[in-house]
């Protein structure tokens, strides 16, 4: 068990996996990595993208727009997505193979229809916080191990905020997959994260090192 460490599993939901509305290539592949790592952590956290049907990040809610288009949403650049992770829908459920029993905290994000929330900590405008920072501080967590979907969006922005908040951040590379709207987006995201101090690790190497 890693003391003062938390495993943060980002958006391991049906819609980001094969057959989902916003399927990430090989998204399913990260579930077994997540399951394997859980036992090394006392504190296992999951996030859920949890949008109301009228969410402004959905292309369907903007006349004449299609997924992949970029709009200005209250002065924030917003990529438009297919409808996904609609609250209480099948697509918003965790992947059926994910072991959910060790999850002691689930953070719901993207609930406000007017603003998207890629990060598990803040919305995209940094206007509102989730309860995550408080929960981590109460448990005296210093190190956060992040995996999930998608590398180039929710994983990336979660890691950036975590670094800014002063945590030691480890990104489990084989536990992540990206959308890759533009080829190379994942690579770019990893390079950007490394630059600000995120340590990029591989699950197998890490398991060996902790025994």
Catalytic residues: 11, 109, 154
Regarding 49 and contact with Zn ion (CB under 5 A), the answer is yes
Pairwise CA distance, residues 46 & 9, whole Å: 5
Judged by beta carbon, residue 66 or residue 205, the one nearer ligand VGL is 66
Pairwise CA distance, residues 56 & 103, whole Å: 29
Question: Within a 10 A sphere around the Cβ of 64, how many other Cβ atoms?
Answer: 6
Write the CB contacts of 130 (distance below 8 Å, at least 6 apart in sequence): 107, 108, 109, 120, 121, 122
Structure tokens at 151: 């590398």
Regarding 81 and contact with ligand VGL (CB under 6 A), the answer is yes
Q: Which of 59, 154, 171, 172 binds ligand VGL (CB under 6 A)?
A: 154
In a 3-state reduction of DSSP, which class is residue 76?
strand
Write the CB contacts of 95 (distance below 8 Å, at least 6 apart in sequence): 12, 13, 14, 17, 28, 31
Specify the residue for token string 């969410």.
Answer: 55
Judged by beta carbon, residue 109 or residue 141, the one nearer ligand VGL is 109
Q: Are 148 and 175 in contact (CB under 8 A)?
A: yes
Regarding 153 and contact with ligand VGL (CB under 6 A), the answer is yes
Binding piece for ligand VGL, criterion CB under 6 A, among 27-35, 98-106, 145-153, 185-193: 145-153
Regarding 149 and contact with ligand VGL (CB under 6 A), the answer is yes
Task: Report the nearest approach of ligand VGL to the CB of residue 77 (Å).
Answer: 13
The distance in angstroms from the start CA to the end CA of the chain is 10
Q: Give counts: helices (H), strands (E), the chain.
A: 5, 8
Select from Zn ion, ligand VGL, none the partner in contact with residue 154, using the beta carbon and a kind-dependent cut-off of 5 to 8 Å: ligand VGL
Regarding 11 and contact with Zn ion (CB under 5 A), the answer is no
Q: Which of 37, 41, 49, 169 binds ligand VGL (CB under 6 A)?
A: 49
Q: Which of 5, 7, 11, 147 binds ligand VGL (CB under 6 A)?
A: 11
Select from Zn ion, ligand VGL, none the partner in contact with residue 30, using the beta carbon and a kind-dependent cut-off of 5 to 8 Å: none
Q: Are 115 and 76 in contact (CB under 8 A)?
A: yes
Regarding 92 and contact with ligand VGL (CB under 6 A), the answer is no
One character per residue 110-129, x = contact with ligand VGL (rule: CB under 6 A): --------x-----------
Q: Residues in the site for Zn ion, rule: CB under 5 A?
A: 49, 110
């Amino acid at each position: 068990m890693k003391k003062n460490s938390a495993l943060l599993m980002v958006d391991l939901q049906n819609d980001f996996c094969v057959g989902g509305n916003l399927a990430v290539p090989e998204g399913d592949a990260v579930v077994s990595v997540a399951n394997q790592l859980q036992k090394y952590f006392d504190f296992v956290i999951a996030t859920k993208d949890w949008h109301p049907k009228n969410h402004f990040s959905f292309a369907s809610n903007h006349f004449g727009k299609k997924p992949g288009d970029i709009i200005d949403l209250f002065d924030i650049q917003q990529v438009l997505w297919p409808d996904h992770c609609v609250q209480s829908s099948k697509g918003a459920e965790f992947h059926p193979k994910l072991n959910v029993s060790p999850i002691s905290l689930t953070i719901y994000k993207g609930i406000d229809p007017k603003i998207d929330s890629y990060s598990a900590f803040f919305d995209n405008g940094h206007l509102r916080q989730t309860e995550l920072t408080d929960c981590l501080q109460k448990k005296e967590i210093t190190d956060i191990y992040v995996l999930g979907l998608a590398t180039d969006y929710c994983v990336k922005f979660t890691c950036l905020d975590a670094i800014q908040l002063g945590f030691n951040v480890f990104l489990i590379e084989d536990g992540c997959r990206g959308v890759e709207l533009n080829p190379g987006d994942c690579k770019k995201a990893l390079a950007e994260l490394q630059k600000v101090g995120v340590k990029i690790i591989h699950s197998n190497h890490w398991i060996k090192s902790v025994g």
